[in-house]
Chains A and B, each alone.
Chain A
Protein backbone atom coordinates (compact mmCIF):
# COMPACT_ATOMS: atom_id res chain seq x y z
CA UNK A 1 0.00 0.00 0.00
CA UNK A 2 2.99 2.30 0.40
CA UNK A 3 3.19 2.80 -3.37
CA UNK A 4 -0.46 3.89 -3.44
CA UNK A 5 0.22 6.34 -0.63
CA UNK A 6 3.22 7.67 -2.58
CA UNK A 7 1.15 8.13 -5.74
CA UNK A 8 -1.66 9.91 -3.83
CA UNK A 9 0.87 12.09 -2.06
CA UNK A 10 2.45 13.04 -5.41
CA UNK A 11 -0.96 13.86 -6.88
CA UNK A 12 -1.84 15.98 -3.86
CA UNK A 13 1.50 17.76 -4.16
CA UNK A 14 0.70 18.73 -7.76
CA UNK A 15 -2.03 21.06 -6.53
CA UNK A 16 -1.29 21.84 -2.89
CA UNK A 17 1.96 23.29 -1.62
CA UNK A 18 0.80 25.83 0.95
CA UNK A 19 -2.50 24.63 2.46
CA UNK A 20 -3.80 28.11 3.32
CA UNK A 21 -3.08 29.37 -0.19
CA UNK A 22 -4.83 26.42 -1.86
CA UNK A 23 -7.78 26.75 0.51
CA UNK A 24 -8.09 30.47 -0.26
CA UNK A 25 -8.23 29.69 -4.00
CA UNK A 26 -10.89 27.00 -3.52
CA UNK A 27 -13.02 29.19 -1.23
CA UNK A 28 -12.82 32.12 -3.67
CA UNK A 29 -13.80 29.80 -6.55
CA UNK A 30 -16.85 28.59 -4.61
CA UNK A 31 -17.83 32.15 -3.66
CA UNK A 32 -17.41 33.34 -7.24
CA UNK A 33 -19.46 30.41 -8.51
CA UNK A 34 -22.32 30.53 -6.00
CA UNK A 35 -22.38 33.95 -4.31
CA UNK A 36 -20.97 36.47 -6.82
CA UNK A 37 -23.84 36.04 -9.32
CA UNK A 38 -26.28 37.01 -6.53
CA UNK A 39 -24.82 40.54 -6.55
CA UNK A 40 -26.13 40.92 -10.12
CA UNK A 41 -23.07 42.82 -11.34
CA UNK A 42 -23.26 41.64 -14.95
CA UNK A 43 -21.62 43.29 -17.96
CA UNK A 44 -18.39 41.40 -17.41
CA UNK A 45 -17.84 42.92 -13.95
CA UNK A 46 -18.37 39.58 -12.22
CA UNK A 47 -15.55 38.06 -14.31
CA UNK A 48 -13.27 41.01 -13.47
CA UNK A 49 -14.04 40.75 -9.73
CA UNK A 50 -13.31 37.00 -9.90
CA UNK A 51 -9.92 37.60 -11.57
CA UNK A 52 -9.06 40.46 -9.18
CA UNK A 53 -9.74 38.19 -6.20
CA UNK A 54 -7.31 35.58 -7.53
CA UNK A 55 -4.62 38.22 -8.09
CA UNK A 56 -5.14 39.48 -4.52
CA UNK A 57 -4.79 35.91 -3.17
CA UNK A 58 -1.50 35.48 -5.07
CA UNK A 59 -0.08 38.82 -3.90
CA UNK A 60 -1.25 38.27 -0.32
CA UNK A 61 0.34 34.83 -0.11
CA UNK A 62 3.66 35.97 -1.60
CA UNK A 63 3.92 38.95 0.74
CA UNK A 64 3.03 36.83 3.77
CA UNK A 65 5.51 33.97 3.15
CA UNK A 66 8.37 33.74 5.67
CA UNK A 67 11.92 33.59 4.34
CA UNK A 68 13.58 30.12 4.38
Chain B
Protein backbone atom coordinates (compact mmCIF):
# COMPACT_ATOMS: atom_id res chain seq x y z
CA UNK B 1 0.00 0.00 0.00
CA UNK B 2 2.88 2.33 0.91
CA UNK B 3 4.54 1.36 -2.35
CA UNK B 4 1.38 2.21 -4.29
CA UNK B 5 1.02 5.69 -2.84
CA UNK B 6 4.73 6.56 -3.07
CA UNK B 7 5.35 5.25 -6.58
CA UNK B 8 2.07 5.24 -8.52
CA UNK B 9 1.31 8.96 -7.98
CA UNK B 10 4.78 10.26 -8.94
CA UNK B 11 4.92 7.77 -11.87
CA UNK B 12 1.66 9.10 -13.27
CA UNK B 13 2.67 12.72 -12.64
CA UNK B 14 6.14 12.27 -14.19
CA UNK B 15 4.66 10.61 -17.28
CA UNK B 16 1.95 13.29 -17.52
CA UNK B 17 4.32 16.26 -17.28
CA UNK B 18 6.99 14.76 -19.55
CA UNK B 19 4.38 13.81 -22.14
CA UNK B 20 2.84 17.27 -21.90
CA UNK B 21 6.17 18.84 -22.90
CA UNK B 22 6.64 16.46 -25.83
CA UNK B 23 3.03 16.77 -27.02
CA UNK B 24 3.26 20.59 -26.97
CA UNK B 25 6.41 20.40 -29.14
CA UNK B 26 4.70 18.03 -31.61
CA UNK B 27 1.54 20.17 -31.64
CA UNK B 28 3.52 23.26 -32.70
CA UNK B 29 4.76 21.57 -35.87
CA UNK B 30 1.46 19.77 -36.64
CA UNK B 31 -0.37 23.12 -36.34
CA UNK B 32 2.13 24.74 -38.70
CA UNK B 33 1.69 21.90 -41.21
CA UNK B 34 -2.10 22.01 -40.96
CA UNK B 35 -2.32 25.80 -41.29
CA UNK B 36 -0.04 25.97 -44.35
CA UNK B 37 -0.61 22.68 -46.21
CA UNK B 38 -4.08 21.58 -45.09
CA UNK B 39 -5.46 19.65 -42.15
CA UNK B 40 -6.36 16.34 -43.78
CA UNK B 41 -2.81 15.18 -44.52
CA UNK B 42 -1.39 16.71 -41.31
CA UNK B 43 -3.89 14.89 -39.10
CA UNK B 44 -3.49 11.65 -41.09
CA UNK B 45 0.31 11.82 -40.56
CA UNK B 46 -0.10 12.32 -36.82
CA UNK B 47 -2.70 9.55 -36.56
CA UNK B 48 -0.42 7.10 -38.41
CA UNK B 49 2.44 7.95 -36.03
CA UNK B 50 0.19 7.44 -32.99
CA UNK B 51 -0.73 3.96 -34.27
CA UNK B 52 2.97 3.05 -34.65
CA UNK B 53 3.68 4.34 -31.13
CA UNK B 54 0.76 2.38 -29.66
CA UNK B 55 2.10 -0.78 -31.30
CA UNK B 56 5.55 -0.02 -29.85
CA UNK B 57 4.13 0.28 -26.31
CA UNK B 58 2.22 -3.00 -26.61
CA UNK B 59 5.17 -4.97 -28.05
CA UNK B 60 7.84 -3.54 -25.72
CA UNK B 61 5.51 -3.64 -22.69
CA UNK B 62 4.96 -7.37 -23.16
CA UNK B 63 8.67 -8.01 -23.78
CA UNK B 64 9.56 -6.25 -20.51
CA UNK B 65 7.51 -8.77 -18.53
CA UNK B 66 10.01 -11.49 -19.47
CA UNK B 67 13.14 -9.69 -18.24
CA UNK B 68 14.27 -10.44 -14.62
CA UNK B 69 13.29 -7.53 -12.34
CA UNK B 70 16.76 -6.64 -10.94
CA UNK B 71 18.38 -6.58 -14.39
CA UNK B 72 15.47 -4.55 -15.72
CA UNK B 73 15.66 -2.06 -12.84
CA UNK B 74 19.38 -1.55 -13.40
CA UNK B 75 19.05 -1.11 -17.18
CA UNK B 76 15.97 1.11 -16.92
CA UNK B 77 17.54 3.08 -14.06
CA UNK B 78 20.70 3.71 -16.11
CA UNK B 79 18.70 4.89 -19.14
CA UNK B 80 16.42 7.02 -16.97
CA UNK B 81 19.46 8.62 -15.35
CA UNK B 82 20.98 9.50 -18.72
CA UNK B 83 17.65 10.80 -20.03
CA UNK B 84 16.42 12.55 -16.87
CA UNK B 85 19.73 14.12 -15.90
CA UNK B 86 20.16 15.40 -19.49
CA UNK B 87 16.76 17.13 -19.23
CA UNK B 88 17.52 18.45 -15.76
CA UNK B 89 20.93 19.86 -16.73
CA UNK B 90 19.44 21.64 -19.73
CA UNK B 91 16.52 23.01 -17.69
CA UNK B 92 18.92 24.30 -15.01
CA UNK B 93 21.13 25.99 -17.62
CA UNK B 94 18.07 27.56 -19.28
CA UNK B 95 16.66 28.75 -15.95
CA UNK B 96 20.01 30.34 -15.13
CA UNK B 97 20.19 32.13 -18.49
CA UNK B 98 23.21 30.15 -19.69
CA UNK B 99 21.20 28.60 -22.56
CA UNK B 100 18.33 30.33 -24.42
CA UNK B 101 14.75 29.24 -23.63
CA UNK B 102 12.77 27.03 -26.03
CA UNK B 103 10.47 29.33 -28.06
CA UNK B 104 7.37 27.60 -29.49
CA UNK B 105 6.19 30.76 -31.30
CA UNK B 106 9.55 31.10 -33.09
CA UNK B 107 9.52 27.40 -34.03
CA UNK B 108 5.97 27.79 -35.40
CA UNK B 109 7.01 30.82 -37.50
CA UNK B 110 10.09 28.98 -38.83
CA UNK B 111 8.08 25.85 -39.73
CA UNK B 112 5.31 27.77 -41.52
CA UNK B 113 7.88 29.75 -43.50
CA UNK B 114 9.75 26.60 -44.51
CA UNK B 115 6.53 24.84 -45.55
CA UNK B 116 5.31 27.85 -47.57
CA UNK B 117 8.60 27.75 -49.47
CA UNK B 118 7.80 24.24 -50.75
CA UNK B 119 5.74 23.71 -53.92
CA UNK B 120 2.00 23.44 -53.31
CA UNK B 121 0.48 19.97 -53.38
CA UNK B 122 -0.97 18.97 -56.74
CA UNK B 123 -3.61 16.74 -55.12
CA UNK B 124 -5.78 16.79 -52.03
CA UNK B 125 -3.31 14.26 -50.61
CA UNK B 126 -0.17 16.16 -49.57
CA UNK B 127 2.81 13.88 -49.08
CA UNK B 128 5.02 16.59 -47.58
CA UNK B 129 2.39 17.49 -44.98
CA UNK B 130 1.79 13.81 -44.15
CA UNK B 131 5.52 13.06 -43.82
CA UNK B 132 6.28 16.17 -41.73
CA UNK B 133 3.41 15.50 -39.29
CA UNK B 134 4.30 11.79 -39.12
CA UNK B 135 7.96 12.52 -38.43
CA UNK B 136 7.45 15.06 -35.64
CA UNK B 137 4.74 12.99 -33.93
CA UNK B 138 6.92 9.90 -34.15
CA UNK B 139 10.05 11.66 -32.87
CA UNK B 140 8.37 13.32 -29.90
CA UNK B 141 6.22 10.22 -29.34
CA UNK B 142 9.23 7.91 -29.06
CA UNK B 143 10.38 10.03 -26.12
CA UNK B 144 6.94 9.64 -24.52
CA UNK B 145 7.02 5.86 -25.10
CA UNK B 146 10.46 5.64 -23.53
CA UNK B 147 9.39 7.66 -20.49
CA UNK B 148 6.23 5.56 -20.00
CA UNK B 149 8.11 2.27 -20.32
CA UNK B 150 11.06 3.39 -18.21
CA UNK B 151 8.96 4.87 -15.42
CA UNK B 152 6.53 1.94 -15.55
CA UNK B 153 9.07 -0.86 -15.84
CA UNK B 154 10.81 -0.21 -12.52
CA UNK B 155 8.21 -2.15 -10.58
CA UNK B 156 5.24 -4.40 -11.48
CA UNK B 157 1.99 -2.46 -11.65
CA UNK B 158 3.45 0.92 -12.58
CA UNK B 159 2.98 0.66 -16.34
CA UNK B 160 -0.72 1.50 -16.12
CA UNK B 161 -0.39 4.70 -14.04
CA UNK B 162 2.44 5.86 -16.32
CA UNK B 163 0.40 5.09 -19.47
CA UNK B 164 -2.64 6.89 -18.06
CA UNK B 165 -0.49 9.94 -17.27
CA UNK B 166 0.80 10.06 -20.86
CA UNK B 167 -2.67 9.53 -22.32
CA UNK B 168 -4.07 12.35 -20.16
CA UNK B 169 -1.32 14.68 -21.43
CA UNK B 170 -2.11 13.77 -25.04
CA UNK B 171 -5.82 14.47 -24.54
CA UNK B 172 -5.13 17.80 -22.78
CA UNK B 173 -2.85 18.98 -25.60
CA UNK B 174 -5.27 17.84 -28.34
CA UNK B 175 -8.12 19.68 -26.56
CA UNK B 176 -6.01 22.84 -26.21
CA UNK B 177 -4.90 22.57 -29.84
CA UNK B 178 -8.52 22.35 -31.01
CA UNK B 179 -9.53 25.33 -28.85
CA UNK B 180 -6.64 27.78 -29.40
CA UNK B 181 -5.48 26.69 -32.90
CA UNK B 182 -2.02 28.16 -32.39
CA UNK B 183 1.18 27.06 -30.64
CA UNK B 184 0.99 26.84 -26.86
CA UNK B 185 3.65 29.46 -26.28
CA UNK B 186 2.48 30.23 -22.75
CA UNK B 187 3.14 26.75 -21.38
CA UNK B 188 5.99 27.15 -18.86
CA UNK B 189 7.99 24.56 -20.73
CA UNK B 190 11.26 24.98 -18.89
CA UNK B 191 9.55 24.73 -15.49
CA UNK B 192 7.88 21.50 -16.65
CA UNK B 193 11.20 20.15 -17.93
CA UNK B 194 12.82 21.11 -14.65
CA UNK B 195 10.17 19.24 -12.63
CA UNK B 196 10.24 16.21 -14.93
CA UNK B 197 14.04 16.15 -14.93
CA UNK B 198 14.02 16.08 -11.11
CA UNK B 199 11.46 13.25 -11.01
CA UNK B 200 13.07 11.11 -13.73
CA UNK B 201 16.52 11.53 -12.18
CA UNK B 202 15.13 10.49 -8.79
CA UNK B 203 13.35 7.47 -10.30
CA UNK B 204 16.50 6.53 -12.25
CA UNK B 205 18.68 6.72 -9.13
CA UNK B 206 16.17 4.67 -7.12
CA UNK B 207 15.70 1.95 -9.77
CA UNK B 208 19.44 1.72 -10.51
CA UNK B 209 20.17 1.43 -6.77
CA UNK B 210 17.53 -1.30 -6.40
CA UNK B 211 18.95 -3.08 -9.46
CA UNK B 212 22.44 -3.02 -7.92
CA UNK B 213 21.03 -4.57 -4.75
CA UNK B 214 21.37 -1.50 -2.50
CA UNK B 215 19.05 -1.16 0.48
CA UNK B 216 17.72 2.42 0.41
CA UNK B 217 17.45 4.01 3.87
CA UNK B 218 13.72 4.41 4.58
CA UNK B 219 12.78 1.90 1.87
CA UNK B 220 10.42 3.28 -0.77
CA UNK B 221 10.29 6.59 1.12
CA UNK B 222 13.85 7.24 -0.10
CA UNK B 223 12.34 8.19 -3.45
CA UNK B 224 10.94 11.36 -1.90
CA UNK B 225 14.35 12.13 -0.39
CA UNK B 226 15.93 11.71 -3.83
CA UNK B 227 13.38 14.10 -5.35
CA UNK B 228 14.28 16.62 -2.61
CA UNK B 229 18.01 16.10 -3.17
CA UNK B 230 17.87 16.63 -6.95
CA UNK B 231 15.54 19.62 -6.51
CA UNK B 232 17.79 21.28 -3.93
CA UNK B 233 21.01 20.79 -5.93
CA UNK B 234 19.31 22.01 -9.12
CA UNK B 235 17.89 25.15 -7.49
CA UNK B 236 21.24 25.95 -5.86
CA UNK B 237 22.98 25.44 -9.21
CA UNK B 238 20.53 27.83 -10.90
CA UNK B 239 21.21 30.49 -8.25
CA UNK B 240 24.97 30.03 -8.53
CA UNK B 241 25.03 30.17 -12.34
CA UNK B 242 22.59 33.12 -12.47
CA UNK B 243 24.92 35.09 -10.21
CA UNK B 244 27.84 34.24 -12.53
CA UNK B 245 25.83 35.30 -15.60
CA UNK B 246 24.83 38.60 -13.96
CA UNK B 247 28.39 39.27 -12.83
CA UNK B 248 29.61 38.57 -16.38
CA UNK B 249 27.00 40.93 -17.87
CA UNK B 250 27.99 43.71 -15.44
CA UNK B 251 31.64 43.19 -16.29
CA UNK B 252 30.85 43.57 -20.01
CA UNK B 253 28.80 46.73 -19.39
CA UNK B 254 31.74 48.44 -17.68
Contact = CB atoms under 8 A, between A and B. Distances in A.
Interface stretch (B103-111, B187-195, B201-209): B201-209
Interface in A9-49: 10-11, 14-18, 21-22, 25-26, 29, 32-33, 37, 43-44, 46-48
Interface of A is mostly: helix
A65 interface: yes
B230 to A, nearest CB: 7
B29 interface: no
Contact of B146 (A14, A32, A51, A63): A14
A37 B245 CA distance: 40
Interface residues of A, number: 33
A25 B226 contact: no
A46 B203 CA distance: 17
A30 to B, nearest CB: 9
A58 to B, nearest CB: 6
Interface residues of B, number: 43
A1 interface: no
Contacts of B226: 51
Interface of A: 10-11, 14-18, 21-22, 25-26, 29, 32-33, 37, 43-44, 46-48, 50-51, 54-55, 57-59, 61-63, 65, 67-68
13 contacts: A10-B142, A14-B83, A15-B82, A21-B89, A25-B85, A29-B78, A32-B212, A44-B216, A58-B85, A58-B89, A58-B92, A58-B233, A62-B240
Interface of B: 74, 78-79, 81-83, 85-86, 88-90, 92-93, 96, 98-100, 139, 142-143, 146, 201, 205, 208-209, 212-217, 222, 226, 229-230, 233-234, 236-237, 240-241, 245, 248
